[in-house]
Structure 1
Amino acid sequence: MQNPTVSLFMPFKNTQEYLPACLDSILAETYPHWEVLAVDDHSEDNSRKVLEAYAKKDNRIKVYPNFGNGIIPALQTAYEHSSGELVSRMDSDDIMKPNRLEVMAGSLGSHGKGHVAVGQVQYFSHRGISDGYARYETWLNALTAIGNNYNEIYKECVIPSPCWMVHRDDFELSGAFRPDRYPEDYDLTFRFYENQLKIIPCNEVLHLWRDYDTRTSRTHEHYAQNYFLDIKLHYFLKLDHDPTRPLVVWGAGFKGKSIAKSLVNQELDFVWLCDNPAKIGKKIYGQELVHFETLKKLKNPQSVITVANETAQKEIREFFSTLGQQAMKDYFFFC
């Protein structure tokens, strides 16, 4: 179908300061065949009035109240009211590049169903960007440039939440917004991965991602580290773990302990490795920690790595290489 309509799902809450720039960027898009499904998640400022004023000027912008509370019910509300053949997200505090929709719709038109169109992103803030966000931006854009985002899916969310687009049929195949698992953007990325939707490479910045202190991903409990670990382990056990192979956890810091505790609670056997002499031989959650050289004695293991230090990660990769083991098959970095 030529010139398919793009449905943009945009929950909003107390973002009146940023909405004009956001909406103006959408109105400036070179691809005109879109609809915005803006859902008010119980704003306490004038956000709703800002949206309604824009909606009066352009009937492609539609405003609805959230039938529940929170971002997932807001997204579900938006999806119920949508009609586009293509679907996408937009954050109410961000800015689109003028050609974002044209590039992404064109990519899907060229590649067909079974694909996810993504774009590179650029953070911006009135106070400058932290080193952590700068590293994440560089890492994410490097993956997007060649379309191998899934190769590091267990480290961080590899598809930017406000900069993806898929065919509606593929979105339905992947469960749409029906699951209620947080963080919802990471969960959706895993479901794209589960349903083998291929990433279309993109070497162009299409989205400007605003950072500020009260941004939801900074303040809401659903974006705390334990939620990310839970979702990683859930999908690893579902999609990539081979239960006939020995399971290994490498690392005994916060993340390693969290993963180990969850495995113990699920009554799943595993070998717990570390290289800290003070911890080797001790038991935590009833599980003894052993030296990482133990890995050499295991037959065809699968390892989850929870060591965050970049230098240590490089050494661990080299160790696995000497054993002839491969990333995303034999070992998986969770940080």
Structure 2
Amino acid sequence: MHPQVSVILPYFNAELTLQRAIDSILKQTFTNFELLLINNNSTDKSNEIARHATQNDPRIVLLDETLPGVANAMNCGLKNACGQFVARMDADDVAHPERLEKQYTSLKDNPSIDFVGSEVEYVPHIAENKGFRRFVNWTNSFHSPEEIVLKQFIEIPVVNPTIFFRRKWYENFGGCLDGNFPEDYEMQLRYLSNGAKMAKLPEKLLEWHDYSTRLTRTDDRYSTEAFFQTKAIYFRKWSEQHNPFHPNIWIWGAGRKTRQRSTFLQEQGLIIEGYIDIKKSKPDALFYEDLPQPGQLFIVSMVTNTGAGEKIHDFLKLRNYNEGKDFILMG
């Protein structure tokens, strides 16, 4: 009998945390799964731990992917997955015992939802990173498909090791692409752009452990510039369908960094009609209080300063601008 769920767990030199991650899957209340452990060129004792685990539980399959990188390891798992549903897991995280059961039940009970994540519990192992904590608070704050669509260009909308989705999405639209960009974010944007309905369970079903070695800290593919470049590609597709003035947009933010990042949008064929700023003194930008009535332009907010996006959002709502119709936040 085929397992209903394939859990894909890539690892690279994870000897200190791998056993804990494996155990958290083996202790799931939902038991009809296979656990695919993908070795990605480990040189420590990770392989011993993985081999030992396969001897103790027939649901565990050990695979090797020699092409470096988590995208290649994930694809190895996807190619070998037998389940109708795919769940992602990281080698340094811990799944709540009811994680698979709750996500499986959610998709079985809601056929219109294709992809479900969850909230996460942030567990820092270094001096707490305020930016990381802010991101966790942000991602834990919204759950519905409608909210995810509106927030998709701010940051990755669903924390990657919580994802649980119908395998047909991989079959129809591919797995992880390997390149100079954040592969997990690109995959979520690609699925959303093809009509996937994503939701998030309003429960913390994963301990998200933050180590200094986390790829988001050490790999250029997770730089802010790489994120904006990826956003630009999928924003163009979104704009074609939702921006009544496409390809014309206004950018909120007239600083040097924002103007540099807005070139990614121009490279995608979007036309920047002007910039909006909170300073009256910028002669080449529209002062934000002088914005016209809604329905005359489309605004993309690209300001990344802490808390700025929320303030811009609230100001535009006060002016009766509709999110998704008159403006979108990006950053």
Which bracket does the TM-score occupy, shorter chain normalised?
0.7 to 0.9
What is the CA-CA distance between 1:153 and the residue it aligns to? 1.3
- Residue ranges of structure 2 left out of the alignment (5+ in a row): none
Q: How does 1:55-70 map to 2 (within 5 A)?
A: 55-70=54-69
* Distance of 1:8 and 1:315 partners within structure 2: 40
Matched, 1:120 2:116: no
Post-superposition shift, 1:134? Answer: 2.3
Aligned-residue sequence identity (percent) comes to 26
Q: What amino acid maps onto 1:79 in structure 2?
A: L
Report the CA distance between 1:255 and its aligned residue: 4.5
In structure 2, the residue matched to 1:285 is: none
| Alpha-carbon offset, residue 217 of structure 1 | 1.4
For 1:117 and 1:103, how far apart are their aligned partners in 2? 10
Deviation at 1:39? Answer: 1.5
| 1:243-282 mapped onto 2 (5 Å cutoff) | 244=246, 246-253=248-255, 255-265=257-267, 268-270=270-272, 271-276=274-279, 280-281=282-283
* TM norm structure 2: 0.88
Q: Secondary structure at the match of 1:307?
A: coil
Q: Secondary structure at the match of 1:119?
A: strand
| 1:170-193 superposed Cα distances (whole Å, 9 cap, x missing partner) | 333343335757311111221232
Shift of 1:200: 3.9
Q: What is the RMSD computed on CA atoms of the aligned residues?
A: 2.7
Aligned equivalents of 2:53, 2:159: Cα separation in 1: 26
1:1-335 to 2 correspondences below 5 Å: 5-112=4-111, 114-127=113-126, 129-144=128-143, 148-177=147-176, 180=179, 182-241=181-240, 242=243, 244=246, 246-253=248-255, 255-265=257-267, 268-270=270-272, 271-276=274-279, 280-281=282-283, 288-292=284-288, 295-296=291-292, 300-309=296-305, 312-321=308-317, 323-335=319-331
Q: 1:45 to 1:252 in 2, by over 3 A?
A: farther
Q: TM-score, normalised by structure 1?
A: 0.87
- Report SS of the residue matched to 1:143: coil
Q: Deviations over 1:247-298 (max 9, x none)?
A: 11121346412322324545643122323456x23xxxxxx54544564299
Which has the higher mean CA deviation after the structures are superposed, 319-328 or 216-225? 319-328
- In structure 1, the gaps of 5 or more residues are 282-287
Task: Tell me the amino acid that sits aligned with residue 189 of structure 2.
Answer: F
- Summarize the Cα distance change of 1:72–1:276 in structure 2 as closer, same or farther, 3 Å threshold: same
Range with greater deviation from structure 2 (212-221 or 143-152): 143-152
Q: Distance in 2 between matches of 1:198 and 1:290?
A: 36
Comparing 42-51 and 17-26, the one that deviates more: 42-51
Distance 2:194 2:144 in 1: 21
Distance 1:311 1:11 in 2: 35
Give the Cα separation in 1 of the matches to 2:102 and 2:268. 45
Q: Distance in 1 between matches of 2:205 and 2:310?
A: 31
Query: Structure 1 residues 174, 114: closer, same or farther in 2, change over 3 A?
Result: farther
